[in-house]
Amino acid sequence: MTAIGQRLLLIYAVALSCVVSVLLFSGAAAPKADVFDEITVHRINVVEPDGTLRMVISNHARLPGIIVHGKEQAFDRPQAGILFYNDEGSENGGLIFGGHRNPKGEVVDSGGSLSFDKYDANQIVQVAGVDDHEDQFAGVSVSDSMPGGQNRRRIWVGRGDDGAAVVALMDDKGRKRISMEVATDGTSRLSFLDAEGKVVNQITPLKAQ
């Protein structure tokens, strides 16, 4: 190799070393996260590296139907919100909210719900508040849920349509067996019910004295 060739090779090696050093120290080899002060979107899908859907943040128009194992079934939801999915891409809870007036001027679908589902079944815990022309309630519900079956509410703590504050305990078939209630006028009572829903014993402030 001639002296000129050796010199060119040396220059090439030095230049290449400088480029590699700059890339390493500047962090160009690692992906950078974009930073935004504000974004406007209709829907955001959060997925795993293999594409499995884990969370959807969406407006009403783009909120998906029921997704089980990555397959969607049409289901009309009148709300916007966030839907959660398990490791297999099946819905297992969500936070939804909405509210508007219909052509008659009635308030409909007004309220919100945060729920968590049992694996391969329906919701077992729900925090909900609804106040529209059909329903006015707010509270926490705990339910039994079997795969392929219906929910059976076991515990309800909240306010009903009549305004009363209630703590209700149900049996494994969803039948109310104990109810502790305070009405809007301050009247309170503790009721025990049989399997048919008949009050078999009741304790009131007067009886307790």
Report pLDDT for 161.
87
- Name the pTM for this structure: 0.78
Query: Checking DSSP bridges between strand 53-58 and strand 199-203, what pairing results, if any?
Result: unpaired
Report pLDDT for 26.
58
Q: Where do the domains of the chain lie?
A: 1-32
Enumerate helices (H) and strands (E) in the chain, giving the number of each.
2, 14
Distances (CA, A) of 191 to 56, 166, 168, 177, 182: 43, 11, 10, 8, 11
Report pLDDT for 33.
82
Half-sphere exposure of 115 (CA within 13 A, CB side): 23
Q: What is the pLDDT along the chain (209 residues), one digit of tens a residue?
A: 566 555 545 555 555 565 556 556 655 555 678 899 999 999 999 999 999 999 999 999 999 999 999 999 999 899 999 999 999 999 999 999 999 999 999 999 999 999 999 999 999 999 999 999 999 999 999 999 988 778 899 999 999 889 999 999 999 999 999 999 999 999 999 999 999 999 999 999 875 55
137-190 pLDDT, tens digit each: 999 999 999 887 788 999 999 998 899 999 999 999 999 999 999 999 999 999
Report pLDDT for 160.
87
Which structure tokens are listed for 78? 């009148």
Report pLDDT for 127.
97
Report pLDDT for 46.
97
d(CA 96, CA 202): 38
